[in-house]
Chains A and B, each alone.
Chain A
């Protein structure tokens, strides 16, 4: 890969815990890179740090350690004024289309807000033209501009959120579970829209999701997170075809397959995901891991290369599913 568009270099984020003196390690030494026009999916269960990673990438929250580079600039050291300039190129789409649109603003004002912040129109007519154009790009009509969010369905609201994100012509969009709240029949419309926009505009996506079927469909590469760290990363075909980390294998095996009789036996992990404030020693996954050995309890496994463009953080990484 040539110069990536976005690069996270050993980025960590910890928060003070609820009880005095405890520390929640939400994200720990995460490194990843996203190229232009590429979709990298961040996958994991609730509390694994995938959304925090997305916010760190946009510097919506400050990292405790590490560097975020975007388009050649180190965001972690940028002045607020320079950061504001940079934000034009990096936008976000949220999960909940009901909570992420101001209910008291008309659609036109919602979409125009980022344009206004970045001074991207001069005259009133220019603004209206751009709003109409953006609505068209996301499959809505110019007439929709005068309506309020409550007059739209969930899928249409998510289209409005996408129009707002692409209004300023970003190079990167962090999409945080953008289709999780949508019905199946509407979900495919929004997935297709995101793909079309990527093709047309060359936007890169950091796509945060828990639905593996959606990820397989939309992502070029995938990073799997567990308890704040990346445990495996690979090209989509390689990850789904030959998962190397026992957690990835269990995750793929746990997802129900919409094909009766297709299930060949499932790896059911015992226990729950531990709290990020009380992470197990060694490999964080070892208490739930079906193949854990003594070394896993003491030595954290580094992320190491197991195949071309494919890395896994496991002492016993192997390209065959367990069970």
Chain B
């Protein structure tokens, strides 16, 4: 039995909008094994980033709130946790990396101080011992972390301000902050989307290397199926606020169970081979204020039937570890 580090059970998050309360995610369930790598893939509006923000309890309250469900981190439900306890979880037990490294770093502080801040904030009291020795230790640790994430001349760089660094280097600094307190889980939301492809390759290589060396579990959120294929063991496919399919990465690409996953793979231009014409998915991703009834993919689905327009499909279990929420699998056992 593989130990689970994170488990979501029926997580539902809504936002207050002009159209009333709108559910951005609706009954999300999946789990991340300890030391494993799980990817969430989805298009804009699928709810993948809201899922990450909900886990970290970083929703813009009171507009955004968790309505239902549980977030079990190492067996403990994070949803009812007071903000004080949540602060201890964020950064120390769960590290996070966001898409835009320029806006995630404070422009008026030296990067060394920003790394040290996260160390003293989370470990100052109990791990470093004395407060005075804590500062110097945190500074030394900042240099060590910069070296770990592959920044040359860390002794000099530690005194740089964010604007003195390139986009790739800033993302390395963000990773250094994220792993500063030895988290057991890293949540990375589109960590390479803002980067050029040769720099993306460097950062992905670094993430893979750190995970292997430090044994950190990772929840990687991306729209890029190429990044998914190369970085994770298991994949959660989201569409319009719901999980439509879950599978190990090889199965997902070889035998996708949900028509949306299949269509997404077909619609992608490939670098390995040239196709005459791309398959296209008709229509557009629906907005959370106007999610269709029944299966939310049905208006765009080539295989939609009458039941799809009225009833939400349950998760059908196609094989161990492979579930798809699609009525065409109604011969299988529903989870």
B160 at the interface (CB under 8 A from A): no
Q: How far is the CB of A258 from chain B (nearest CB, A)?
A: 4
Total residues of chain B contacting the partner, CB 8 A: 45
- With A213-B268, A216-B269, A256-B224 known as contacts, the answer to whether A153 contacts B199 (CB < 8 A) is no
Quick check: is A192 within 8 A (CB to CB) of the other chain? yes
Known contacts A216-B271, A272-B169; A256 and B198 CB within 8 A of each other: no
**Chain B residues packing against A (C-beta within 8 Å):** 43-44, 166, 168-169, 196-202, 204-205, 223-230, 249-250, 253, 263-265, 267-272, 274-275, 277-282, 284-285, 300
Residue of A nearest to B206 (CB): A268
| CB-based A-B contact count at 8 angstroms | 133
Which residue from A188, A256, A273 sits with its C-beta under 8 Å from B226? A256
Contact call B43/A185, Cβ cutoff below 8 A: yes
| Partner-binding segment picked from A29-37, A246-254, A305-313 | A246-254
A262 in contact with B272 given A183-B285, A185-B263, A185-B267 (CB within 8 Å): yes
Q: Do the beta carbons of A213 and B270 come within 8 Å of each other?
A: yes
| B229–A260 touching, CB < 8 Å | yes
Q: With contacts A256-B229, A259-B229, A272-B169 known, is A191 near B199, CB below 8 A?
A: no
A: number of interface residues (CB 8 Å): 47
B285 touches A186 (CB 8 A): yes
**B249: which of A211, A257, A260 is its contact (CB, 8 Å)?**
A260
Q: How far is the CB of A211 from chain B (nearest CB, A)?
A: 8
CB of A185 within 8 A of CB of B198, answer: no
Q: Quick one: which of A218, A240, A254 contacts B200, CB cutoff 8 A?
A: A254
List A residues at the B interface (Cβ < 8 Å).
45-46, 153-156, 183-189, 191-192, 195, 210-214, 216-218, 236-237, 240, 250-263, 266, 268-270, 272-273
CB within 8 Å for A257 and B230 given contacts A195-B277, A217-B278, A272-B166: yes
Is B270 within 8 A of A258, CB to CB?
A: yes
Give the interface centre of B43, B225, B271, B274 by most chain A CB atoms within 10 Å.
Answer: B271
A45 touches B285 (CB 8 A): no
Known: A188-B268, A256-B224, A258-B225. A268 touches B205 (CB 8 A): yes
Query: Is there contact, CB below 8 Å, between A255 and B279?
Result: no
| Most chain B CB within a 10 A radius of its CB, from A192, A240, A256, A270 | A256
